[in-house]
């Protein structure tokens, strides 16, 4: 664990005492279950300098803050409709000195503009999520999701008439060799 991630863990522990954004049962697994899980997106798809990424439903800053640490030249906008969660994400980003992060307390539908990518971490089912962001990204959505995702992907593709080959899955345990990640995926939805 790098010094930046150690500092992030300390900040999250401190803030989680005030505002619970990570289950108290899981706080001891913060680095492995939340930070490294978030970084799986960057392992699957490294972001380039000057690209823009919208993190929808960021909660306390996942996956956005770990990705912003890993890709300091990429711009991240972290969006959540729950003010207390954005307060934590903002405080952690500020505490880490992340100049490439902007935190916004809003519903994604109300945000102006478009981003190169959208990232998210199991906010809702894909068919509910996709309409929120379909006009917000230029390249791909990278969505962290666990469990049996095939039926959900099939519903998404059928409902929104996404062509074959436009949705890909990547097993997180390809990178993180831990039973915890056995049924977790990065779902990559290409812009059509």
Domain ranges in the chain? 3-190
Q: Across residues 107-134, what is the average pLDDT? A: 95
3-state secondary structure of 165: coil
> Is 127:159 a contact under the CB 8 Å cutoff?
yes
Q: Which phi-psi region, left, alpha or beta, contains residue 16 (left: φ > 0; alpha: ψ -120 to 50)? A: alpha
CA distances from residue 187 to 13, 132, 166 in whole angstroms, order as listed: 29, 16, 10
* pTM of the full structure: 0.95
> Is 22:16 a contact under the CB 8 Å cutoff?
yes
Q: What is the pLDDT of residue 15?
A: 87
Q: How confident is the model at residue 1 (pLDDT cuts 50, 70, 90)?
A: confident
Q: What is the pLDDT of residue 165?
A: 94
Work out the mean pLDDT of the chain and round it to a whole number.
Answer: 94
Task: With a cut of 80, say whether residue 25 has pLDDT above it.
Answer: no
CATH superfamily of 3-190: Vaccinia Virus protein VP39 (3.40.50.150)
Q: Across residues 47-75, what is the average pLDDT? A: 97
Share of residues in the chain with pLDDT > 70 (%): 100
> Is 31:157 a contact under the CB 8 Å cutoff?
no
Q: Across residues 101-116, what is the average pLDDT? A: 95
Share of residues in the chain with pLDDT > 90 (%): 86
Q: What is the pLDDT of residue 171?
A: 97
**Lowest-pLDDT range of 92-96, 141-145, 176-180:** 176-180
């Amino acid at each position: 664990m790098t010094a930046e991630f150690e500092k992030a863990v300390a900040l999250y522990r401190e803030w989680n005492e005030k505002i619970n954004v990570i289950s108290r049962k899981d706080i001891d697994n913060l680095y492995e279950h939340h930070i490294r899980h978030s970084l799986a997106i960057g392992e699957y798809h490294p972001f380039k300098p000057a690209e823009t990424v919208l993190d929808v439903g960021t909660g306390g800053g996942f996956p956005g803050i770990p990705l912003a640490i890993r890709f300091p030249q990429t711009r991240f906008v972290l969006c959540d409709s729950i003010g207390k969660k954005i307060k934590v994400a903002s405080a952690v980003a500020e505490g880490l000195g992340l100049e490439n992060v902007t935190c916004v307390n809003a519903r994604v539908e109300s945000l102006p503009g478009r981003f190169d990518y959208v990232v998210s971490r199991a906010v809702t089912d894909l068919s509910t999520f996709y309409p929120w962001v379909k006009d917000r990204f230029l390249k791909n959505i990278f969505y962290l999701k666990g469990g049996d995702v095939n039926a959900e992907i099939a519903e998404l593709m059928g409902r929104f008439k996404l062509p074959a080959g436009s949705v890909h899955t990547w097993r997180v345990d390809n990178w993180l060799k831990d039973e915890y990640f056995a049924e977790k995926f990065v779902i990559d939805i290409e812009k059509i």
